Structure 1
Amino acid sequence: QIFMQLDDREKLAFITDRGTYCYKVMPFGLKNAGATYQRLVNKMFAKQLGNSMEVYIDDMLVKSAKAQDHVKNLQECFQVLTKYGMKFN
């Protein structure tokens, strides 16, 4: 998830019968959300892409040529996600 800038949150506010709400993280319904997210994960995983990982928008694939390398490759993936404060949902 990508946090919205404070100044941009009110621009995406919506009103319901229960109140007014705004997004704290970027929703995927925005026109450029997918492209923005793709650029972000491409930068985050630049070292792994094409080697031990493939990423397409919100789908991540960790791959290994040898079974014994797979745990190490998964750990690298999780370390990058943790470094940038990203979470799976």
Structure 2
Amino acid sequence: MSIYRVETLNKSMYFLASGHKTSNHVHKDLDKGRGSQFNIGETNALAFSSLSSQNPGVITIANATFGSNPPINPDVLAKAFQLDKSVVNYLQQKF
């Protein structure tokens, strides 16, 4: 499931984009008019959107983090997970 929260200022126009952390790069720009929002009110606006399906697929954190392509820099992962770099290298080899 993906959940989005969009906050817009009054008298502002925004084009919505979506990105996901997966084991593969996913990017889709919406064509003009397909995902725009124009707040004509005098106050800020707030919108929520959630996307799901019966079988959205399984992306585990381990696969997405240690098995990503291109790989995430081992120094970054070592710092983020407070691991020795050799442990990160070992985990990346497993995925």
TM-score (norm 2): 0.24
Which one has more relative contact order, counting CA pairs under 8 Å at least 6 apart?
2
Structure that is richer in helix per residue: 1
TM-score (norm 1): 0.25
> Which protein is bigger by CA-based radius of gyration?
2
